[in-house]
């Protein structure tokens, strides 16, 4: 195990990346782009929330006021469909000349998605909502890479599945990444998050266990206060376990959001690494259902496991559908 870097090196890294922020600003449903900033409560500034007790931890909009008028679009998503969330450094969108797009590489940490049912997905008041986690991507201890690293490699995109068993209705999708480059003390971890407004159709009647924001995270959580400048043997992603319809700790499609490499495929959700590992031998030869299969800069498999086909979403992203 290599020694932790000195504080001076950590401080230099923090100083160099202090303004390298990011915003979740685009949604795709089954690979179809729903439009730039459509249906998302987008802030005017790409800065983080650092106080885990702030109401800004719900959907942002406190420390970083929302751009007005706030979108009144509600994105229709069938239960069981895949959703892709896209991050970029600024609201101008993808910028291949910007070394901090979609976020500065120093901002290592987990990426997560939550849902909360709400009477009206466009209502202003979001306090008191009950949230359940549907996806997460933390630390792969085998190579010390993070969910944020995989998001960057995928040009700002991460893909996950809406649970097929939850009730139809209006929801907020709270999509979040946590940057841990300054998290050796609290406050230091940087929480980046926005909420998308969804109408979920179909589904079932399962009511997941829920948590509240603020409240789900503590400043002393091991996934919030941590020195990442060392070789880590584990990492505990903040918040609850991932909900899945079959009662396991995470969806069986947890690997689907990650670009598939020729070496191996593992679940980067800390709670399901062992159960997902057997898929590696088959996914190495062909991209799995919902996995990336093409795009500028992509180096993984370009063919899909039968019966799926590689569908172009944009010049940066194609997916097995």
Q: What is the pLDDT of residues 153-170, one digit of tens each?
A: 999 999 999 999 999 999
Burial of 221 (0-12, 13-18, 19+ CB in 10 A): middle
Task: Round to whole Å and give the CA distance between 229 and 3.
Answer: 8
Spatial CA neighbour of 186 closest among 52, 21, 4: 52
Task: Round to whole Å and give the CA distance between 255 and 263.
Answer: 14
Confidence at residue 187, expressed as pLDDT on a 0 to 100 scale:
97
Which of these ranges, 175-184, 240-249, 263-272, has the smallest mean pLDDT? 263-272
The first and second tokens of residue 31, run together, are: 């690979």
Give the pLDDT confidence of 207-265 residue by residue, as tens digits.
999 999 999 999 999 999 999 999 999 999 999 999 999 987 554 333 333 333 322 22
Task: Round to whole Å and give the CA distance between 112 and 306.
Answer: 29
Residue 71 dihedral angles phi and psi, to the nearest 5° = -55, 135
The first and second tokens of residue 122, run together, are: 């466009």
Q: What CATH number was assigned to the domain covering residues 23-213?
A: 2.70.50.70
Confidence at residue 180, expressed as pLDDT on a 0 to 100 scale:
98
Confidence at residue 140, expressed as pLDDT on a 0 to 100 scale:
98
Mean pLDDT of the chain: 84
Domain boundaries, the chain: 23-213, 291-320
Give the pLDDT confidence of 15-65 residue by residue, as tens digits.
334 466 999 999 999 999 999 999 999 999 999 999 999 999 999 999 999
281 torsion bin: left (phi>0), alpha (psi -120 to 50), beta (else): alpha
Confidence of residue 317 (pLDDT cuts 50, 70, 90): low
Confidence of residue 294 (pLDDT cuts 50, 70, 90): confident
Confidence at residue 308, expressed as pLDDT on a 0 to 100 scale:
75
Number of Cβ within 10 Å of residue 7's Cβ equals 11
Task: Round to whole Å and give the CA distance between 288 and 282.
Answer: 8
Give the pLDDT confidence of 62-80 residue by residue, as tens digits.
999 999 999 999 999 999 9
């Amino acid at each position: 195990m290599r020694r932790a870097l000195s504080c001076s090196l950590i401080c230099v890294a923090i100083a160099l990346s202090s303004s390298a922020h990011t915003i979740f600003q685009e949604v795709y449903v089954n690979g179809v782009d729903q439009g730039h900033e459509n249906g998302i409560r987008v802030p005017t500034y790409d800065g983080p929330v650092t106080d885990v007790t702030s109401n800004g931890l719900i959907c942002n909009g406190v420390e970083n006021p929302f751009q007005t008028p706030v979108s009144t679009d509600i994105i229709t998503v069938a239960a069981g469909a895949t959703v892709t969330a896209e991050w970029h450094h600024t609201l101008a969108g993808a910028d291949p000349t910007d070394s901090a797009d979609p976020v500065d590489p120093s901002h290592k940490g987990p990426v997560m998605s939550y849902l909360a049912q709400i009477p009206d997905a466009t209502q202003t008041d979001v306090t008191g909502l009950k949230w359940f986690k549907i996806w997460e991507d933390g630390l792969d201890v085998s190579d010390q890479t993070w969910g944020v690293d995989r998001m960057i490699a995928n040009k700002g995109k991460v893909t996950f599945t809406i649970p097929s068993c939850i009730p139809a209705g209006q929801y907020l999708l709270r999509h979040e990444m946590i940057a841990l480059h300054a998290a050796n003390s609290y406050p230091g971890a940087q929480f980046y998050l926005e909420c998308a407004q969804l109408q979920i159709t179909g589904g079932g009647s399962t009511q997941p266990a829920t948590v509240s924001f603020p409240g789900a995270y503590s400043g002393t959580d091991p996934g919030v206060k941590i020195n990442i400048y060392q070789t880590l043997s584990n990492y505990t992603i903040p918040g609850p376990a991932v909900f899945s319809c079959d009662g396991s700790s995470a969806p069986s499609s947890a690997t689907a959001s990650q670009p598939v490499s020729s070496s191996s495929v593992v679940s980067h959700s800390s709670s399901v690494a062992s159960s997902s590992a057997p898929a590696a031998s088959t996914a190495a030869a062909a991209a799995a259902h919902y996995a990336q299969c093409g795009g500028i800069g992509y180096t993984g498999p370009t063919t899909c496991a039968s019966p799926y086909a590689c569908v172009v979403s944009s010049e940066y992203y194609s997916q097995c559908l």
